[in-house]
Structures are given as C-alpha cells and as structure tokens.
Structure 1
Amino acid sequence: MEDKVQKWLSDIGIFRQKVPDDNTNFHFIINYPEENVMDVIQPKGASDLIVIGCATNVSPEHSDEMKLLSDSKKEDFIWDLRYMLNSKDVDFQLSHPNNILESFLITSEIYGDGLSKDRLISVIKTIFRAKIQCVWKIQQKFGMGDEGDGAVSDSMYV
C-alpha cells in the first residue's frame, strides 16, 4: 500500500517527503495545493487504513479578535464551525479553550478495500475544501489578518 500511495502522490506532483514517525507504518508530507501542507499516514497496527489530515493554527490577529467577542458570540462562532464541518464528509477536532479557536484538525480515513487513486485524490480535495471553508469563515468574521486589505479571495487556492 505504501509504494502505491507514494507513486500516486508523486504522479500528480503533490508528494513532498517521507518523514520518520515511530507511530506509523509510513508518513508522507504532501502539498495540496502548492502551499498547503497535509499528512498522509498509515498508523502502526492498521495495515488496512490510511489517514489524511490537515492541521491549521489560527493567527494571533484572529485569536485577538475572537477574545473581544461576548461569551455567547464566541460560543455561537464555535457552534457555527462545528455545524459547517459536520456537513462535510470529514472528521474534525477543534482546539478552543474558553471558546477561542486556536487550531483545527481535519481528517478522513480510507480503508484498503476502498483505496484507489481517484478516492485518495478526492479525499485530499475534500479535506482542503473543508479547511478553506474554515479559513473563509474566520476571515469573514474577523477580517483578513495580516494578509491584505480586507478583501476575501474568491480562490480556493490561497
């Protein structure tokens, strides 16, 4: 499975490196799109499974803006993110002490009997779309941070 997955990722030009990881059978770093880092792993003891994931930290500028909200508005924002992500075909974890979003992790699993090049790429795209929706939601609510003049990009490939 490792060689096949690495070949597919290389064939489409998104494979970046294999990294040592004692908790996995293999761990690849990919860029999809170009500047967005994702991980493709096979956990130890799970030879029939790969997990694709993308972790994102919230900028200090956005965190500072979140802190200015009332407690109920902070909670509403976290619930909005949960509902949005739950409507996607992904798993997610939000790190939000005191309802201040610090980071989020979006993942999905593919089991061996469902693994194909098409399915792998489709899952990678789904994870990225879920991530970019979170980024857009944060930018819509709290501004662009240090990225520019406040105009939200229409491109998914930011």
Structure 2
Amino acid sequence: MKVGLWRRITRTFKANSKKREREGENEGREESGYEGGSGEERREERMRGQRMMRQKMRDEIVRRVRDWLVEEGIYKDRVTDENADHHFIAEVPPSSGQLIDIIFPKSREDLVAIVSGVKLSDEHHARLMSLKAEKRDEILWKMRFDLLFLPTGFQILPSAENPQIFQFVRELYFDGLNKNLFIEAVNQVYRCKLFVIWTMQRLFGNNAASVSASAHDSMFL
C-alpha cells in the first residue's frame, strides 16, 4: 500500500481519536464533580485500569487475527509501520500476488482496518480520460453508486475528475469480532478491487497491463 494513502487514513483516525479523548476527559470531570483531590485520583486510576483492559483485549485480537490469516493460508508478511502498532500483509487469493493490508492503527485502540486499492494501468487511465466528459461521468457515477451501500468505504484519488486510484477501507470494531466476520471483510475488500478491475477490462479490453495477478503489476497496489 502506498505511504501517501495510508497517511491520509491515519490523519482521519488521529483526528477522531483526539475528539474521543477530549470527550472522555470531559465526562471524567463531570463524574468526579470537581478537579483535583481524591476524586481526580480515583478517576485517573479508573482510566488506567480501562487502558490496561483495552490493551489486553487488543493484544489478544492481534494474536487471533494473525492466526486467522495463517489458518486461511493468506498470511504474507509483517511490516514496520510508524502509524500502526501492528501491520500485516495478506495475499488474497493465496499466491495471487494481490495484497491487502491488515492494520491496527496507533491512534485507534478499538478497531482493525482492512485496506487495499487498485491503481489504474496507464492505458486504462488514458482511455478513460479520453472519453467525453458526459460518458466518463456516467461510468464513474455508476461505479460510485454500486459501491455506496457496501460496508467497505472507498475513495477515488486524486479526485473523481481524475480517477487514478480506487482506495478501499473496511473498519472492524473489536466488539463482536470473530473469524467469520473478519475473513468476510477481507474477501469483500478483494471483491471491491475485482469490481474496479473487471469494470475497466469490460470497457477497455483485457490487455496485458490489467490482467496480471502480480502485485508488481501497475493495476494493483
């Protein structure tokens, strides 16, 4: 996954995390009734206990997620990421060369993000941009509406007017997370990638630049 795309995602995670921290601090002050003294100490002790419980749960879920990837034969690698506590790479389907990132953001203690994307081949991008604006808008609006009601979020980068990359993100909260839900989410992100690839191939042909299953192909991130 390209660094620039992941930075955009982490900025959003961090902004939401800071907002929740401020809300939590305000709630804590309201519960204690005053600042300082034994009430403040009790609040801090309670918050420390909650953080320890969340960290313990997070560590257990990280272990489970890695085990699930290994069990399904799609675990590829673990990478160092300054914005994540844990960052795994999955290859879906196995040995296909198509990679999906499994990310536990540092700024979020309560979720795992499943992230991947498709970069249009130079030929497909050029042919899409060569269409009349009305026809190009019709294609892209249909793609957006088809993706809109899926649990997986998406972005078109750098813009819908100049579509070069289709980015997909599925966020799974730890509450209720199990293997069935996790693997289905991974598979859905993969299907979103296929949707873009097959749409381009249907429109512009099944050329060599877009049919390769290699992660090094320009069609894949």
Which position in structure 1 is the counterpart of 2:118? 56
Select which of 164, 179, 185 maps to 1:123: 185
Distance 1:27 1:134 in 2: 25
Question: Which has the larger share of strand?
Answer: 1
* 1:98 Cα deviation after fit: 6.9
* 1:38 Cα deviation after fit: 0.2
Q: Which has the larger radius of gyration?
A: 2
* 1:96 Cα deviation after fit: 5.0
Select which of 104, 111, 128 maps to 1:66: 128
RMSD: 1.8
Select which of 78, 88, 93 maps to 1:33: 93
Q: How does 1:69-80 map to 2 (within 5 A)?
A: 69-80=131-142
**Structure 2-normalised TM-score?**
0.63
Q: Which amino acid aligns with 1:6?
A: R
Identity of aligned residues (%): 29
Which position in structure 1 is the counterpart of 2:176? 114
> Which contiguous aligned blocks of 4+ residues in structure 1 show a shift greater than 6 angstroms?
none
1:52-109 CA-to-partner distances (Å, cap 9, x unmatched) read 0111110011011112201111222211111111132210011154723211111111
Which position in structure 2 is the counterpart of 1:152? none
Distance 1:111 1:101 in 2: 30
Q: How does 1:7-26 map to 2 (within 5 A)?
A: 7-26=67-86
Where in structure 2 are there 5+ consecutive unaligned residues?
Answer: 1-60, 212-221
Which position in structure 1 is the counterpart of 2:218? none
* 1:114 Cα deviation after fit: 2.3
Residues 29, 144 of structure 1: alpha-carbon distance in 2 compared, 3 angstrom cutoff:
same
Q: Is the 8 A contact 2:114 2:169 kept in 1?
A: yes
Segment of structure 1 superposing worse, 123-132 or 95-104: 95-104
Q: Which amino acid aligns with 1:21?
A: D
Distance 1:23 1:110 in 2: 18
Which position in structure 2 is the counterpart of 1:146? 208
Q: Which amino acid aligns with 1:90?
A: T
Q: Is the 8 A contact 2:118 2:197 kept in 1?
A: no
